[in-house]
Amino acid sequence: MSLLEISVQDVISFACWLVASYGLSKIFKKFHIEGWWAFIPGARIYWLGRCADREDDGKIAMIFELLTFPVMLAMQLLNENLEVMKYILLLNIFLGIVCMIYKARICIDLCGDLKVNKNWAWLWVFAEVIPCLVWGFSDKYTPSKALLRYNGLDPVLDDELIHSLEDTSASDNGLSVKIKDRTVRNFLDKRYLLREIFMTIEPGHMVLLLGGSGAGKTTFINAVTGYEKANAEILLDGMNVYDEYDKMKYSIGFVPQLDLIRSNDTVYRTLYDAALLRLPSDTTLSDLTKRVKEVLEQFGLATVKASLVEKLSGGQRKRLSIAMEYISDPYLFVLDEPDSGLDGVIARDLMRRLRTIANEGKIVIVITHTPDRVADLFDDIIVLAKDSKRTGRLAFYGSIDEAREFFGQNTMEGILRVINQKDEGGEGRSDEFVLKYAERQVVSK
């Protein structure tokens, strides 16, 4: 049979598929998915799996469904070779059975979400046009939990407001942050991790970075330091961090939550090795040793410089971890929970040392899970919050006192409570404050 020959049965089958796809597009819209995915072979079953909270099953079903197309083409081309056709036919049957099984698994869970009898799943497998039309066009069948999507229209800010915000962070001094978005690709979906974060941090400021779990704090830090680039413009005293990273990497220091210090080295050797790595290659030996001595004194480690790292207390080890990054005398110094695991007195002493660094004209950004015990040491606070689509947004940037007034809360924990989503024990008001802060910035511009 010629590839161009089309039977009446083929026309009917295609018409049924087209009608079913139209009904499926209506179902997808109920789950906040673009309807046109329903007309894409393979992708339609993947998104159906996403709707049913069976993404992995959707991926497998998609792969096997797409494999049927070259097999069907081979059947058309080799239909006169009976020996080969036998194996192709068996392969086609196998692919069909696997697709049927995974479709059934997906549809059974989908029936539960739509609150219909699970027998509908078998009708979907053998005659999908019926449930597609019934579920798609009837308002009776509404999902109990719509799929959270990360793309599409902004749920908080309109385009005019976003455009106005971009001009509020322009500065040749300090740190200028213009993050339009930071995205990752999740199979067929694009997820927004951060959106519309614009600010300028002045030199000499120590800034608290506050946000609940998943609000994008680490992603924000990685974007600002150039570790993971975003769709952004990051300027440090007017120099573009992304474009001139090789020149500026010595001006940026980042201390992660977990240190990677060798326990069997001395404190002095550890800091000396860090200096060899972090200082420019043309640094003289005398300047290098002088810098090591200065940092030992600054972080209160001079008296234990001959001690092994494994003999240090928790606070001393944390100070050494910070000193290793500060050895290059960075202009921008970022720390992820430097007080983790430390008691109140030791943690506060550590934060005072960071305050001293900021007083030297540096920019210090700190994440801490116990912000209220050290809030008075900070100049400003950045509050990141997850919006209704679980995207990290800027809910506030300003002084600590202004933040308390803005959110109507006396504590940092209270601020977190009002912006966290309800399923995280919060009040779920993040969208409200993201919009409120954006409008405030535009008015004050």
Per-residue model confidence as pLDDT tens for the chain (445 residues)? 444 456 777 788 888 889 989 999 999 888 878 889 999 988 999 989 888 888 889 899 899 888 888 877 877 777 766 777 777 788 888 888 888 899 889 999 888 888 888 888 888 888 888 989 999 898 888 887 665 554 555 667 776 677 777 766 556 789 999 999 998 877 777 788 999 999 999 999 999 999 988 899 999 999 999 999 999 999 999 899 999 988 888 899 998 887 778 888 899 999 999 899 888 888 899 999 999 999 999 999 999 999 998 898 888 888 999 999 999 999 999 999 888 878 878 889 989 999 999 999 999 999 998 899 999 999 999 999 998 888 999 999 999 999 999 999 999 999 999 999 888 888 989 999 999 998 888 776 6
pTM of the model as a whole: 0.76
Which residues, other chains included, contact 23 with Cβ-Cβ below 8 Å and sequence gap of 6+? 129, 131, 132, 133, 134, 135, 136, 137
Helices (H), 151-283: 159-165, 217-225, 245-248, 267-278
What does the longest C-alpha to C-alpha distance in the chain come to? 91
Residue 271 has a CB neighbour count (10 Å cut-off) of 23
CB-neighbour burial class of residue 111 (10 A; exposed 0-12, middle 13-18, buried 19+): buried
Please tell me the distance from the alpha carbon of residue 445 to that of residue 139, in angstroms, as a whole number. 46
| Token reading at 48 | 């159906």
Distance of CA 371 to the CA centre of its chain: 23
pLDDT value of residue 294: 93
Count CA atoms within 13 Å of residue 71 on its CB side: 17
CATH 3.40.50.300 is right for the domain spanning 159-444? yes
Inter-residue long-range contacts of 85-91, CB under 8 Å, 24+ positions, other chains counted: none
Please tell me the distance from the alpha carbon of residue 209 to that of residue 379, in angstroms, as a whole number. 11
Do residues 280 and 250 lie in contact, with contact meaning Cβ atoms separated by under 8 Å?
yes
Of 331, 326, 332, 368, the C-alpha closest to 351 is 368
Please tell me the distance from the alpha carbon of residue 371 to that of residue 270, in angstroms, as a whole number. 30
* Residue spans per domain, the chain: 8-137, 159-444
pLDDT value of residue 119: 85
Dihedral angle sign, alpha carbons of residues 136, 142, 144, 149: positive
Please tell me the distance from the alpha carbon of residue 252 to that of residue 110, in angstroms, as a whole number. 49
pLDDT value of residue 4: 46
Instruction: State which amino acid sits at residue 80.
Output: E
CB-neighbour burial class of residue 1 (10 A; exposed 0-12, middle 13-18, buried 19+): exposed
Please tell me the distance from the alpha carbon of residue 179 to that of residue 339, in angstroms, as a whole number. 28
pLDDT value of residue 366: 95
Dihedral angle sign, alpha carbons of residues 97, 98, 102, 103: negative
